[in-house]
Amino acid sequence: MTKISSAKLSGQFRIGGEIAVNRLGYGAMQITGKGMWGWPENREIVRETLALLPKLDINLIDTADAYGPGVSELLIKESLHPYAAGTLVTTKGANVRGGPGLWNRNGSRNYLRQCTVLSAQRLGVERIDLWQLHRIDVNIPAVEQFATIAEMIKDGLIRFAGLSEVSVAEIKQAQEFFPVATVQNQYNLVDRKSEDVLNYCEANGIGFMPWHPLAAGKLAAPGSVLDAIAKKLGATPGQVALAWVLKRSPVMLPIPGTKNPQHLVENVAAASLQLSDADFAALDEQGRAAAAA
């Protein structure tokens, strides 16, 4: 089959009930150097990849101040600013970096406000329309971090706020301070630990942004159900896995990332795949079994 690359085919979702985005987005974690540290080896290929985003109708771009740190945000600004109408660049804060592959957390009020202001400067915006708490800092009461986020919304530093790698209980606790617009947890065909979080988000109109959405593990092996469906549709196993994620829930906002232009086109083409209910169910059964194993 001929697959069309347009994120419009993934449908739309309104973040916070207001900001309309095409559901298939882009994650900008991979555009930095090794270990998510420093500048990429080939900045031109990264710029080429980023320049394709509006041409493929991708208007949801996810990054974080910790990617680089700061490098991902700067590359997005270099390549796309001024942003096309309707483009939403989201970023995250609270993770701090000590070097390649090293991660720490800082959820203090001063740091959260500082990193938010600096992210806005790097992205070239006056206000961040969607800012997400990259991780809850376990050394600081979560309610203090949620109170700071509510304060940043009130002060106009951010418009909407979300959370990353959280439980349903943590979402409910945060909702006592501000409306949770999005949740970004790891989720894919074979990683179903956040199934309850996804169900809660769907029931409450919260956008769910799965990271690592293309993963399929051993299900992508030759002769598997996924492999057979991919061959039937004239697609790759990764495209089918992504199509399954999109079909799983109307609040699903997958953000597959790449620094390769052709890979980006292939990812977006997954939005044109039409999984039958039977194929979806077969993949779901296999995925749950793999996750349980």
| Residue 61 · residue 31 · CB < 8 Å | no
| Residue 80 · residue 87 · CB < 8 Å | yes
Active-site annotation holds for 187:
no
Cα 38 to Cα 269: distance, rounded to the nearest angstrom: 30
- For residue 162 the two structure tokens come to 């979300």
| Residue 64 · residue 91 · CB < 8 Å | yes
**DSSP letters along 214-243, please?**
T--GGGGSTTSHHHHHHHHHT--HHHHHHH
Cα 235 to Cα 237: distance, rounded to the nearest angstrom: 7
Write the DSSP symbol of residue 68.
Answer: B
| Residue 163 · residue 180 · CB < 8 Å | yes
Task: Find the catalytic residue in 26, 67, 83, 187.
Answer: 67
Peptide bond into 69 cis (omega under 30): yes
Report the catalytic residues.
67
